[in-house]
Structure 1
Amino acid sequence: MHLRTTKRLALVLAAAALALAACGGSSDDDSDAAPGDGLTSASPRAGGSLTINIVTESRGLDPFTGAMSSVTDYSRLNALYDVLVYADGKTGEIKPQIAEALTTPDGGRTWQLVVRDGVKFSDGTVFDAAAVKFTWDRMADPANRSLYASSLRGVTTEVADARTLRISLAQPNARFDQIVAANLAYVVSPTAYQKDPKGFSRQPVGAGPFLLKSWQQGVQQTYGRNPGYWQAGKPYLDELVFKTVTDQTQSFNSVDTGGSDMAITLDSRNANLAKDAGMDVTELALNGPGGVLFNMAKAPLDDPRAREALTLAIDPDGFNKIMYDGKVVTPKSLFAVTSTQIDQNAVPTPRQDTAKAAALAKQLADEGKPLNVTLMMPQSTNSGKTGEYLQQQWNLVPNINVKIDYVDINAMMAKVLVGKDYQAAYYNLATPAEPVLWNALHSKSPANWLNYSSPDADAALEASRTATTPEDLKAAYTRLAQVTSRDFLMIPLQESITYVYAKRGKFGGLELTSGAGILMDRLGRSGT
């Protein structure tokens, strides 16, 4: 097997919270394992069930409408479809799964994907190169309104033989394999999809380790083990349940009291509680900060002075102290402060300057451009606290008036990512940098939901795709960080770390992708 691998030079950031929990075992903790070791080091055994509390309900369970992030559907889709390839959560290296090879002979202009022999969908039909082409063609079809269609812009495919798909790009991209891992890894059964295209998202058919058995909207989804899964002896679990639980405190309490076994969260407070309780805790730092992002096509934020005024009115370190007791890292750009993808010393750090913020706001008011803004925030307990803090800080500055609009997370995604119907949003640019940053920031990207247009940013993004050495990639991303900081693209407030915690000694085989999705084929109960 030969798989082209590229190493990410840093792990990635996100900014929303997700809780995942499991039930079905004793809550007694008699293991001698040290906290922090068990989830990734313990060996899983066959059998048992796992219930996962997740913060949002699915919009749909097909790859076109499913929300690909750790806070929504990554783990659900991994269970149903498996993946062609994935980016390793620790190294960013692209690794094979159903695709045994994804290579480029010419620096990214053309690619070849080879799928494994003998893989079948759960309806018994063959998983082949034609199925990949079928799925990608549906993904690119505007009629399906896929959030990920832009990942296939300028991409043409040809089935060379039953297992081989030839891929041609309009422009070279040495990191196209990262795009496949992030947005194009899930493949549907063409036979099942063609039978009922409209109903497929409720009755999905993939080649993953689990099958959807039932779905109670807003309550839970129940999955059973796929007996025809292509990897012998997997998955380890017999049953998997995803429950919709929006309250983070409730999720932690369910693990702590034994009603659940496991949770995944970006809330450092819950993670600290889990550590204090002696649980196994695994951490994964993510790139792409959470914070306030601006729609640059909406007045008054189309004026850079308005964005600068709002930015200078906020103290990110003060936010950290109030919201997280100073226990989380405060980001300063599009990239994590620990990222080696950029030259950290070359990127300026905005500092709070309320006097300058007031002066800019007065200029705008005098010109008939009052700084009246509505900030859209996801609906949750923690978001309420965040919104209150930000609103208070902004409204202390003369001529700045900010209102907060709390919206269901799925509805917010539709408004922000699809409709671009917002002024400012508390959201994230969760990486992998490819294709997220290109899609969100390039002026010619149809997925540019920030309505950002900068020749300098475009040039940096284009240079990142043609870079063939780590040094060239670092130079391109450093320039991108500098330009977006200069243009006040966002107020970075929250460097996120994904935490997975469970009662000590209960689970093993945990492996996360770089997007913090759980690879469900290898997770299982450990011990007796």
Structure 2
Amino acid sequence: MGVVQKIGALALSVAFLLGTAACGSGSAESANQIHIGRTEVFDGFTLDQELLNEDYAISTAVMEPLIRVGNEGKELQPGIASSWQYNDDDTQLTININPDAKFSNGKAVTANDVAFSLAVWKSGPNYGANYSSIASSTVKDDHTIVFNLSQPDSSIPAFLSYAVAGVIPKDYGGKSAKAFYQNPVGAGPFKVESWSTDGDIVLNKNPYYYKKGYPKADRVINSYTPDSNSVALQLKAGQIDLVNQLDSITAKLLDRSYIAKVPAHQTPTLVLNTQNAFLANKSVRQAIAYAIDYESLQKYGFYGFGELPNSSLPPNLEGSPKTTGGYYRQNIAKAKQLLKGVDIPASITLTYPTSGISAAVVQIIQSDLKKVGINVELKSVDGGTWSSSLSAGTFDMSTFATNANSPDLIDAPSYVVSTKMLYAQMDTSHLADLISSYKESTDTNAKQQIVQQIDDYLSDEVPYVVLNANKVIVAKQPDIKGLEVQPWSCYYYDTLSH
């Protein structure tokens, strides 16, 4: 999500968080208020422009998608769509809309709103391809819409749970798109009071929310700060209730009772730009993968919050693959053999965000590659510059992280393809064909076999090296209830309470 993810779905944080207002759970005034700290600058509410995991949780709280994800990210559940079903040949998907679903202005959600929303999703440059198999839609009545598919696509329900597939009013409620997204109206549990990209986002309870008894909180404040040194103190002092995507250095200093249960899932990577003549050589990319000391990265770079990588794809989804023959482990002799006869440049640059990855990670990579004769220059840049360089392909090597945004196994591969092999600028036609075959299949075993082929292909081609299987760290006050963190670090705001 996914993905930049996703940056999936989906990315390494470009900043760390601090709650800036003293609105902690100890105050009577805030007894029914949740104060969240965020580690990333908010991309705004514009659907399809939401590229970071933090964006997804905020956006979903306001513009809820048709389908929800439940059971710790393992299944799809009814939401605004009370049910959905394919026809016999899987060429139509009928969506039944919950008759209780209303926008925060009190107007009912209708099939015409969903039809308009679909057109918005499909037009998105980042995620629109996920909905390309929906050729058209047919409104049957106010609460029934049929998606007509150009080909069978079993993954559509999962993509309908994405934050970028938020349901919005037809014709933006009579506003321009720009004006609408400045003050969006959705059918989620909260409505917007105020927001800024690098400040507080204040959300108030939507009195028309379709889930009776929810949201549990009347108000949510989500605050951003670039200062990571005071995070633990703010959390311990009760000035924030939740901390999203806490960096592993700070998390190491916290009592483990603060750390929420999240399975290892996010995959921090070293992306290898194949527009660079040196990195265009597959043997070079494989040599780099063999040069890296994954055990040291796990211990000293990620401080034990995660697992050694076993796949090119995120782990801990139902049916997640493991690379046939095993994923890369350090083998200096093999790396040197692969580089034999290769013209190695004087140096190659590794770009990484100033606040988003432990300096130890890039230093370990630099040291490991030097052992095989590759001199790496480290280039630390601000988050915006780093993100832009990925999108434009103006880097040699870069750090990145990805994850799924739904329980569907094709989620992460779809993002890899949509980003030219996770920004490595490689041809994606082979993977695109495999993804198409996956979507056309309804057989679980056949789908898992296709994803295994995808994983093996990525591990052999090495457009990126998976450095670790991370646990995205979410920390919370002991009194917070209703927190269910999905493997990709998202959670729903409507269930949170003290």
Instruction: Give the counterpart of 1:150 among 119, 122, 129.
Output: 129
When structure 1 is superposed on structure 2, of 304-313 and 372-381 the one drifting more is 372-381
- Which residue number corresponds to residue 104 of structure 1? 86
Say which SS state the counterpart of residue 198 (structure 1) adopts.
helix
- Which residue number corresponds to residue 134 of structure 1? 116
CA distance in 2, matches of 1:370, 1:510: 50
Instruction: Give the counterpart of 1:468 among 442, 448, 473.
Output: 442
CA distance in 2, matches of 1:371, 1:47: 60
Say which SS state the counterpart of residue 319 (structure 2) adopts.
coil
Are the structure 2 counterparts of residues 339 and 446 from structure 1 closer, same or farther at C-alpha, using a change threshold of 3 Å? closer
Q: Amino acid of the residue matched to residue 318 of structure 1? A: S
Q: Amino acid of the residue matched to residue 314 of structure 1? A: I
Residue 283, structure 1, aligned to residue 261, structure 2 = yes
Say which SS state the counterpart of residue 201 (structure 1) adopts.
helix
Q: Amino acid of the residue matched to residue 200 of structure 1? A: F
Residue 299, structure 1, aligned to residue 277, structure 2 = yes
Count of matched residue positions in the alignment of Structure 1 and Structure 2: 482
CA distance in 1, matches of 2:180, 2:240: 30
Instruction: Give the counterpart of 1:66 among 42, 50, 61.
Output: 50
In the TM superposition, residue 521 of structure 1 has moved relative to its aligned partner by 1.4
Are the structure 2 counterparts of residues 177 and 347 from structure 1 closer, same or farther at C-alpha, using a change threshold of 3 Å? farther
Q: Is the 8 A contact 1:86 1:97 kept in 2?
A: yes
Say which SS state the counterpart of residue 507 (structure 1) adopts.
coil
Are the structure 2 counterparts of residues 171 and 402 from structure 1 closer, same or farther at C-alpha, using a change threshold of 3 Å? farther
CA distance in 2, matches of 1:447, 1:167: 29
- Which residue number corresponds to residue 33 of structure 1? none
CA distance in 2, matches of 1:435, 1:327: 23
Say which SS state the counterpart of residue 194 (structure 2) adopts.
strand
Q: Amino acid of the residue matched to residue 429 of structure 1? A: T
- Identity level (%): 21
Q: Is the 8 A contact 1:316 1:493 kept in 2?
A: yes
Normalised to the residue count of structure 1, the TM-score between the two structures is 0.81
Alignment of 1:286-365 (within 5 A): 286-287=264-265, 289-326=267-304, 328-336=306-314, 341-342=319-320, 344=322, 346-361=324-339, 363-365=341-343
- Which residue number corresponds to residue 414 of structure 2? 438
Q: Amino acid of the residue matched to residue 131 of structure 2? A: L
In the TM superposition, residue 295 of structure 1 has moved relative to its aligned partner by 2.9
CA distance in 2, matches of 1:47, 1:372: 56
5+ residue gaps in structure 2?
1-7
Are the structure 2 counterparts of residues 413 and 126 from structure 1 closer, same or farther at C-alpha, using a change threshold of 3 Å? farther
In the TM superposition, residue 304 of structure 1 has moved relative to its aligned partner by 0.9
Are the structure 2 counterparts of residues 188 and 494 from structure 1 closer, same or farther at C-alpha, using a change threshold of 3 Å? same
CA distance in 2, matches of 1:231, 1:90: 19
Q: Is the 8 A contact 2:483 2:496 kept in 1?
A: yes
In the TM superposition, residue 290 of structure 1 has moved relative to its aligned partner by 1.5
In the TM superposition, residue 97 of structure 1 has moved relative to its aligned partner by 0.9
Instruction: Give the counterpart of 2:362 among 373, 379, 387.
Output: 387
CA distance in 2, matches of 1:481, 1:406: 30
Say which SS state the counterpart of residue 218 (structure 1) adopts.
coil
CA distance in 2, matches of 1:204, 1:57: 18
Instruction: Give the counterpart of 1:405 among 379, 382, 401.
Output: 379
In the TM superposition, residue 376 of structure 1 has moved relative to its aligned partner by 2.7
Q: Is the 8 A contact 1:287 1:495 kept in 2?
A: yes
CA distance in 1, matches of 2:315, 2:412: 18
- Which residue number corresponds to residue 23 of structure 2? 24
Q: Is the 8 A contact 2:43 2:197 kept in 1?
A: no
CA distance in 2, matches of 1:183, 1:107: 28
Residue 520, structure 1, aligned to residue 496, structure 2 = no
In the TM superposition, residue 319 of structure 1 has moved relative to its aligned partner by 1.3
Are the structure 2 counterparts of residues 85 and 286 from structure 1 closer, same or farther at C-alpha, using a change threshold of 3 Å? farther
- Which residue number corresponds to residue 236 of structure 1? 216
Q: Is the 8 A contact 1:188 1:205 kept in 2?
A: yes
Are the structure 2 counterparts of residues 114 and 513 from structure 1 closer, same or farther at C-alpha, using a change threshold of 3 Å? farther
Q: Amino acid of the residue matched to residue 507 of structure 1? A: I
Alignment of 1:357-376 (within 5 A): 357-361=335-339, 363-365=341-343, 370=345, 372-376=347-351
CA distance in 2, matches of 1:461, 1:515: 21
CA distance in 1, matches of 2:9, 2:130: 20
- Which residue number corresponds to residue 4 of structure 2? none
In the TM superposition, residue 330 of structure 1 has moved relative to its aligned partner by 0.9
Q: Is the 8 A contact 2:260 2:473 kept in 1?
A: yes
CA distance in 2, matches of 1:189, 1:410: 31
Are the structure 2 counterparts of residues 448 and 475 from structure 1 closer, same or farther at C-alpha, using a change threshold of 3 Å? same
In the TM superposition, residue 94 of structure 1 has moved relative to its aligned partner by 0.8
- Which residue number corresponds to residue 145 of structure 2? 165
Q: Is the 8 A contact 2:216 2:496 kept in 1?
A: yes
When structure 1 is superposed on structure 2, of 387-396 and 203-212 the one drifting more is 387-396
Deviations 1:141-163 (A, max 9, x none): 3xxx5421121223222322222
In the TM superposition, residue 438 of structure 1 has moved relative to its aligned partner by 2.1
CA distance in 2, matches of 1:25, 1:68: 26
Say which SS state the counterpart of residue 350 (structure 2) adopts.
strand
5+ residue gaps in structure 1?
1-11, 29-45
Q: Amino acid of the residue matched to residue 55 of structure 1? A: T
Q: Amino acid of the residue matched to residue 147 of structure 1? A: N
In the TM superposition, residue 15 of structure 1 has moved relative to its aligned partner by 5.5
Q: Is the 8 A contact 1:107 1:173 kept in 2?
A: no
Q: Is the 8 A contact 2:424 2:464 kept in 1?
A: no
When structure 1 is superposed on structure 2, of 170-179 and 327-336 the one drifting more is 327-336
